[in-house]
Amino acid sequence: MKFMNWRVLLLILLAVGLVVFMSIPADAQCAMCKASLAGSNNGKFIRNFNIGVLVLLVPPVSIFCSIFIILRRHRGE
């Protein structure tokens, strides 16, 4: 059974890696943010803004994943 879990985990990691490395670059902005930044000629500011949006996305995603993992581990009890 442990071997099967490792195979499933490896398959999931491989799929996530393929999605990450084969995806096209996307701006992490809503429509209003993109419209307000479109008038700016400062490319470094726009790039840093996109990185900031992605950084703000990390805590909710990690909290959701943690809750999902905890619920999945205690599913059979």
pLDDT tens digit at each of 77 positions of the chain = 455 677 888 888 888 887 777 766 666 567 777 777 777 788 888 888 888 888 888 899 999 999 988 988 888 76
Q: What is the pLDDT of residue 9?
A: 82
Domain that holds residue 43: 2-73
Q: What is the pLDDT of residue 26?
A: 60
Q: What is the pLDDT of residue 5?
A: 77
Q: What is the pLDDT of residue 32?
A: 79
CA distances to 38, 40, 58 from 17, in Å: 31, 34, 17
Q: What is the pLDDT of residue 62?
A: 92
Asked whether 37 and 46 are in contact (CB, 8 A), the reply is: yes
Q: Into how many domains does the chain fold?
A: 1
